[in-house]
Amino acid sequence: MLSDIGVDSIEKLFAGIPERLRLRRLLDIPKALTEPELIEYFRQRAARNASEYSSFLGAGVYRHYIPVIVDALISRSEFFTAYTPYQPEIAQGTLQAIFEFQTFITQLTGMEVANASLYDGSTGLAESVLMGQRISKKNKFLIAKTVHPEYRAVVSVYARNLGITVETIGYSASGRIDMADLAKRLDKDVAAVVVQTPNFFGTIEQTHDISELAHQHGALSIVNVAEAISMGILKPPGLDAVETRTADIVVGEGQSLGVPMSFGGPHVGFIATRDRYVRQMPGRLVGMGQDYSGNRAFVLTLSTREQHIRREKATSNICTNQSLCALMATIYMATMGPAGLREICEQNIVKTEYAVQQIRSRTPREVLFQGSRFNEFVIKLKDDYAKCAQKLLQSRIVPGLQLSRFYPELGNAMLVCVTETTTKAQIDAFVKGLE
Amino acid sequence: MSPDDLLYTKEHEWIRVSDNVGTVGITLFATKELGEVVYIELPKVGDTFKTGDAFGNVESVKAVSELFLPVTGEVTAVNEDLGNAPETLNEDPYNKGWLIEIRMKDPSETSDLMSAEEYDEYTKSEE
Amino acid sequence: MSNNHTRVGKHFQLTERLVFEEGSAGRRGFNLPELDVPRRAVTDIVDESLLRKNIDGMPELSEVDVIRHFTRLSTWNYHIDLGLYPLGSCSMKYNPRINEKVARLDGFAYAHPFMPPELIQGSLDVQKTLEKCLAEISGMDAVSLQPAAGAHGELTGILLIRAYHESKGKPRRKILIPDSAHGTNPASVTISGYVVENVPSNSSGTVDLENLRKVVDDDVAAIMITNPNTLGVFESQISEIAEVLHSHGALVYMDGANLNAMMGITRPGDFGVDVLHINLHKTFTTPHGGGGPGSGPVAVKKILEPFLPYPVVGQRSDSMLFFDHDRPQSIGKMKAYNGQFGMHVRALCYILANGPDGLKEVSEVAVLNANYIRARLKDSYALPYDSPTLHEVVFSDRIQARKDVHVGDIGKRLMDYGFHPPTVSFPLIVPGAIMIEPTETESKQELDAFIDAMKTIATESEENPDLVKKAPHTTRIGRIDEAAAARKPVLRWKPS
């Protein structure tokens, strides 16, 4: 090969790099490990994570059953080692699967059109705020305090250099957004109202009322769903007989649809909107069309919106979507079907309510916020969170999230999550640990 | 040969002037560069623009291009038919493919624009 | 077709409808364990007005239906396990299976990011070790693993630059970008509140130093470069370029997409770069997954470390690792939690599998393979720039265009020979560009097969251009009417 190139050593191929920039030592990284050594290395580290404890953590990352066939299918190298489907003739597998994902998301959210996925719920929310700015040409956003705090933190990073202002709307004793305060603060300068359902406290918001109120004041309605599986049983923000009672953008996190928790990533964001706003939507889109012989075919479309053609006028700077994770969600929804999703949601609701009742009747702890819940709730601790947590950890139970971290006004409070994977025995042990 | 009853801009728009009413579109050269047009975004009747303002954009599969107004004015009509048939722009850019009509604030601004002959010279040098 | 055409034979393949057109009422693919707490009606717990009746149009499938459907779909994809992807600046290399095995360990898959630190030391250790390795490889001082992908890393990098300038009293207004840059660059700039100013390349396709001196002033916040650039050419004046920026108090951002050309050979930190993003799904072999997930960590010099997104992985005096949120100068959070952990595991596994010798060999062979292709194809395709290239090479379709055969056609015809097309029509400064990056995981046999196919296509373009212009001929679907698909977009299935 070197003779074809016309040099006598590989070193000559780097002649264009000035000598003083050359690294003349080996990189100071660990020596190469062989396959058995690598397995051992990572096995040891994985073992230092306490994954076999029972866990009552939720807060945006949820433990649900993942059917074995999800991993079996996405492990096919045809799916996971394929590139972005820019050449549709040899990427119809990926393209059709994404088209199916887009459709599943519209069905789940009740919206008209969805994109091929975004990085995650938090960046998705930021992108939907930018989208709201583009559509309304206004800069003020009213965001509920009960939207996931890390999502709100990401929004503020994206918003700060684009002239966007964010005002926070508090919550009422029910745990839901303070509607009176919202109504007072809505004026003609508001671009959109942003709420989350179920919200960070686990309380289900009445998004249809909120959408109607927003529209009455000329504002858009953006609803964030961090626990996507809840739409398997809850009336989604995009579904209502009256159009003014539906959201303009539904955005969120699809991790609970067959994607492992994996210490926070990779997960999968989704965004859905009305047909008339499709050209303002960020990210990739797969459309259905035909080849010149009339065969049905799928193709990336409306890509002039994306970064690679519009450059500085692009609707966002997204390049990758989360294709393989979107495929996991697609396979999950296909496997569960509407009945399966409904049953999982029922178990989440019933088990959570069981936990709430047990805590009320057997412990001195107070369950806050009386609004209807999905799979999370807040308990007020009489004593120090740390003391309470330590007791639970000793029984190999991971406690719920320490809420004072994000909501200091709640004092010693804990956000507890119960899913279909939490057994009665685990709930009973958790309750006993709180006594 | 570009139609000689029109005036042209460097950004490949044309304008047909009648008293103080101008009809605006884009040239065959522009539509050839863009390829098959898939979508057109146009302003609303009543919108006002200054010379050189972007008043909309044209989208093809591979590119999106802004549309610049050759003169100052207020939009009095918008070609609604293009919404259903954006390919009209490729088929007939100078007649059926008209984009907007404007009431010009200052008709003398057209003296800065190119004639058909000057425009054809200009596009030859661009190629 | 040529005689070398034994690579593509006949193929047995099934068609498949949309998943919504399959299945039948009552089927389910998964059974849940029975409810073990006392049964109650959901309507007793949640107000009925909050519930939905059904999910219109969602299909009902058995496990076998699902397996068949997606397996059939998968057979329509080209993928790296099948053959070469010569995509420039994508570094499409083999995805080692060991990465997949370790990423799936229960301890990693079931870890929750909000667990108390003492219960997640394994994940924190993986992140800390990866940070150290990436810092050493890039010659930088600190790393954040938070950005979700390359474009996200870019945005993070520019926000870091902005925070730095703001801390000095003036954010400045402009960011310089060479006209050969990747499409994500200008968009990231706009979102950060800066304005793009283009820097034209010179006749060797590199940044023109004299032109640069003219445009750099105290209103320039930074330059965004790729090195080697998108033509595969190493900016040999990179230190001088960095000096021009630094002397005006501006910073240098590097797009790390082309890191595959230089591991163990030179380091961005050593040639004046202040911040760069690294694409784990390129050089560090995390799989492309049909378009993601990726991962785009940023590596910075000490001056930018205080501004990194929070949390950073810190270490206490008792050597326990933890997520440190006490970062008063941080730009904030770029994403919930701390990045695409599943990709961090894979990338670290790759780095540890190679070690210092292995990574250097990766870059050496990547550069060797690209130069081999360049040498053997330069008589068939036009080389717009004479400069030596590293891990990728850009040709143009100038010769073939005389017979009205364009770069897109050449790419489509390559499919008939069993290859994925190279990157086409990019970089924009080369009209009709064909950008080829083979990477180091391709054998000489695969490279020769690719070269033979490209030479054959060059001949076909001369002697039978229509064959190339109407390609592909052997794929299950042909070219798509993209204009029609964009005019009346159909973006979801609807029940009829």
Q: Are the beta carbons of A57 and C112 closer than 8 angstroms?
A: yes
Q: Is A285 found in the same domain as A362?
A: no
Residue from B27, B10, B7 nearest B18 by CA:
B7
Beta strands B54-60 and B64-68 are antiparallel
Query: Residue A320's pLDDT band (boundaries 50, 70, 90)?
Result: low
Q: Are the beta carbons of A32 and C352 closer than 8 angstroms?
A: yes
Q: What is the pLDDT of residue C348?
A: 98
Is B39 in Cβ contact with C482 (below 8 Å)?
A: no
Amino acid at C161: I
% of chain A residues with pLDDT over 90: 91
Residue B22 has pLDDT above 70, yes or no: yes
Q: Where are the domains of chain B?
A: 7-106
Q: Which residues of C touch B61 (CB under 8 A)?
A: 482-483, 486
Containing H/E element for A427?
helix A424-433
Say whether residue C483 is in contact with chain A using an 8 A CB cutoff.
no
Helix axes A35-47, C341-377, angle to 10 degrees: 150
Q: Are the beta carbons of A365 and C57 closer than 8 angstroms?
A: no
Residue C3 has pLDDT above 60, yes or no: no
Compute the distance between CA of residue C381 and CA of residue C395 in angstroms, rounded to an integer. Answer: 6
Cα-to-chain-centroid distance, residue C38 = 50
Tens of pLDDT, residue by residue over A206-246, are 999 999 999 999 999 999 999 999 999 999 999 999 999 99
Nearest chain A alpha carbon to B40: A279
- A371 Cβ contact list (under 8 Å, min separation 6): A174, A175, A176, A203, A204
Q: Which residues of A touch B60 (CB under 8 A)?
A: 304
**In-domain check, residue A258:** yes
CATH number at A405 reads 3.90.1150.10
SS3 C221: strand
Nearest chain C alpha carbon to A317: C187
Amino acid at A181: D
Q: Which residues of B touch C483 (CB under 8 A)?
A: 35-38, 60-61, 87
Residue B86 has pLDDT above 70, yes or no: yes
| Residue environment code for A124-147, b if the CB has 16+ CB neighbours within 10 A, otherwise e | bbbbbbbbbbbbbebbbbbbbbbb
How close is the nearest chain A Cα to the Cα of B1, in Å? 31
Q: Is A321 found in the same domain as A191?
A: yes
Compute the distance between CA of residue B2 and CA of residue B32 in angstroms, rounded to an integer. Answer: 14
**In-domain check, residue A46:** no
* Tokens read off for A9: 């050593």
Q: Is A222 found in the same domain as A356?
A: no
**In-domain check, residue A35:** no
Compute the distance between CA of residue C184 and CA of residue C426 in angstroms, rounded to an integer. Answer: 13
**In-domain check, residue A246:** yes
Q: Is A280 found in the same domain as A203?
A: yes
Residue from C243, C252, C111 nearest C178 by CA:
C252
Compute the distance between CA of residue C288 and CA of residue C139 in angstroms, rounded to an integer. Answer: 26
SS3 A190: strand
B64 phi/psi in degrees, rounded to 5? -125, 140
Is C487 in Cβ contact with B86 (below 8 Å)?
A: yes
Say whether residue A310 is in contact with chain B using an 8 A CB cutoff.
yes
Predicted TM-score (pTM) of the model is 0.95
Containing H/E element for B41?
strand B37-41
Residue C5 has pLDDT above 60, yes or no: no
Residue C92 has pLDDT above 70, yes or no: yes
Compute the distance between CA of residue C405 and CA of residue C397 in angstroms, rounded to an integer. Answer: 8
- Residues A327-332: what's their mean pLDDT? 98
Instruction: Please work out, in degrees rounded to the nearest 5, the angle formed at the alpha carbon of residue C55 by the alpha carbons of A79 and A300.
Output: 35
Compute the distance between CA of residue A223 and CA of residue A233 in angstroms, rounded to an integer. Answer: 17
Beta strands A286-290 and A220-225 are unpaired
% of chain C residues with pLDDT over 90: 85
Say whether residue C411 is in contact with chain A using an 8 A CB cutoff.
yes
Q: Which of residues 454-483 of C touch B (CB under 8 A)?
A: 482-483
Going by the DSSP 8-state scheme, the letter that residue C338 receives in this structure is: T
* Tokens read off for C143: 């790393």
Going by the DSSP 8-state scheme, the letter that residue A98 receives in this structure is: H
Chains adjacent to C (≥3 CB pairs closer than 8 angstroms) = A, B
Point out the domain boundary residue: A296, A330, A364.
A330
Highest mean pLDDT among B89-93, C134-138, C315-319: C134-138
Nearest chain B alpha carbon to C484: B38
Question: Looking at chain C, which residues constitute the CATH 3.90.1150.10 domain(s)?
Answer: 357-482
Tens of pLDDT, residue by residue over C368-378, are 999 999 999 99
Compute the distance between CA of residue A165 and CA of residue A168 in angstroms, rounded to an integer. Answer: 10
Superfamily, domain C357-482: Aspartate Aminotransferase, domain 1 (3.90.1150.10)
Report the topology of domain C98-352: Aspartate Aminotransferase; domain 2 (3.40.640)
How close is the nearest chain A Cα to the Cα of C135, in Å? 10
Q: What is the pLDDT of residue B111?
A: 87
Q: Is A220 found in the same domain as A104?
A: yes
Tens of pLDDT, residue by residue over A124-173, are 999 999 999 999 999 999 999 999 999 999 999 999 988 999 999 999 99
* Tokens read off for A104: 């599943």
Beta strands B73-78 and B37-41 are unpaired
Residue A321 has pLDDT above 90, yes or no: no
Tens of pLDDT, residue by residue over A377-427, are 999 998 899 999 999 999 999 999 999 999 999 999 999 999 999 999 999
Compute the distance between CA of residue A80 and CA of residue C285 in angstroms, rounded to an integer. Answer: 12
CATH code for residues B7-106? 2.40.50.100
Point out the domain boundary residue: A311, A330, A349.
A330
Is A279 in Cβ contact with B64 (below 8 Å)?
A: no
Is A236 in Cβ contact with C292 (below 8 Å)?
A: no
**In-domain check, residue A27:** no
Tens of pLDDT, residue by residue over A47-67, are 999 988 999 999 999 999 999
* Positive or negative: CA dihedral C107, A84, C18, B62: positive
Compute the distance between CA of residue C138 and CA of residue C252 in angstroms, rounded to an integer. Answer: 14
Is C368 in Cβ contact with A353 (below 8 Å)?
A: no
Residue from C400, C409, C380, C406 nearest C462 by CA:
C400
Closest partner residue to C110 (CB to CB) among A79, A84, A261 is: A261
Query: Residue C1's pLDDT band (boundaries 50, 70, 90)?
Result: very low
Say whether residue C495 is in contact with chain A using an 8 A CB cutoff.
no
CATH number at A216 reads 3.40.640.10
Q: Are the beta carbons of A326 and A332 closer than 8 angstroms?
A: no
Q: Which of A261-275, A335-349, B10-24 has the lowest average pLDDT?
A: B10-24
Identify the residue with better confidence: C378 or C186. C378
How close is the nearest chain B Cα to the Cα of C123, in Å? 43
Residue from C33, C112, C38, C35 nearest A356 by CA:
C38
Residue A319 has pLDDT above 60, yes or no: no
**In-domain check, residue A346:** yes
Going by the DSSP 8-state scheme, the letter that residue B94 receives in this structure is: T
Q: Is A343 found in the same domain as A302?
A: no
How close is the nearest chain C Cα to the Cα of A392, in Å? 12
Q: Which of A242-256, C180-194, C212-226 has the lowest average pLDDT?
A: C180-194
The whole-chain average pLDDT of chain A stands at: 95
Is C487 in Cβ contact with B39 (below 8 Å)?
A: yes
Q: Which residues of A touch B59 (CB under 8 A)?
A: 304
Residue C189 has pLDDT above 90, yes or no: no
Nearest chain C alpha carbon to B39: C487
Say whether residue A289 is in contact with chain B using an 8 A CB cutoff.
no
Say whether residue C39 is in contact with chain B using an 8 A CB cutoff.
no
Say whether residue A90 is in contact with chain C using an 8 A CB cutoff.
yes
Q: Which residues of B touch A (CB under 8 A)?
A: 39, 41, 59-64
Point out the domain boundary residue: A330, A356, A389.
A330
Say whether residue A317 is in contact with chain C using an 8 A CB cutoff.
yes
**In-domain check, residue A5:** no
Q: Which residues of A touch B39 (CB under 8 A)?
A: 279
Residue A310 has pLDDT above 60, yes or no: no
Q: Which of A9, A12, A119, A303 would you mutate first to test chain C, the one with the most C CBs within 10 A? A: A119
Q: Which of B31, B33, B37, B38 would you mutate first to test chain C, the one with the most C CBs within 10 A? A: B38
Q: Which of A39-53, A317-331, C324-338, C374-388 has the lowest average pLDDT?
A: A317-331
Residue B34 has pLDDT above 80, yes or no: yes
* Positive or negative: CA dihedral A210, A216, A222, A228: positive
Containing H/E element for A214?
helix A207-216
How close is the nearest chain C Cα to the Cα of B33, in Å? 14
C129 phi/psi in degrees, rounded to 5? -65, -40
Query: Residue A314's pLDDT band (boundaries 50, 70, 90)?
Result: low
Beta strands in C160-206 (DSSP E): 174-178, 195-199
Q: Which of C424, C426, C482, C491 would you mutate first to test chain B, the one with the most B CBs within 10 A? A: C482
How close is the nearest chain C Cα to the Cα of B4, in Å? 31
Chains adjacent to A (≥3 CB pairs closer than 8 angstroms) = B, C
Q: Is A322 found in the same domain as A377?
A: no
Q: Is A326 found in the same domain as A209?
A: yes
Is C57 in Cβ contact with A83 (below 8 Å)?
A: no
**In-domain check, residue A351:** yes
Beta strands in A12-154 (DSSP E): 54-55, 113-114, 140-144
Domain interval for residue A407? 54-66+338-434
Compute the distance between CA of residue A203 and CA of residue C348 in angstroms, rounded to an integer. Answer: 40
How close is the nearest chain A Cα to the Cα of C130, in Å? 10
The complex's ipTM works out to: 0.96
Say whether residue A76 is in contact with chain B using an 8 A CB cutoff.
no
* Tokens read off for A124: 């998705």
- C126 Cβ contact list (under 8 Å, min separation 6): A42, A45, C108, C341, C344, C345, C348
Residue from C412, C417, C410 nearest C2 by CA:
C417
Q: What is the pLDDT of residue C183?
A: 58
Q: Which of residues 164-203 of A touch C (CB under 8 A)?
A: none
Question: Looking at chain C, which residues constitute the CATH 3.40.640.10 domain(s)?
Answer: 98-352
Burial of A343 (0-12, 13-18, 19+ CB in 10 A): buried
Compute the distance between CA of residue C143 and CA of residue A7 in angstroms, rounded to an integer. Answer: 37
Q: Which residues of A touch B63 (CB under 8 A)?
A: 304, 309
Number of domains chain A is built from? 2
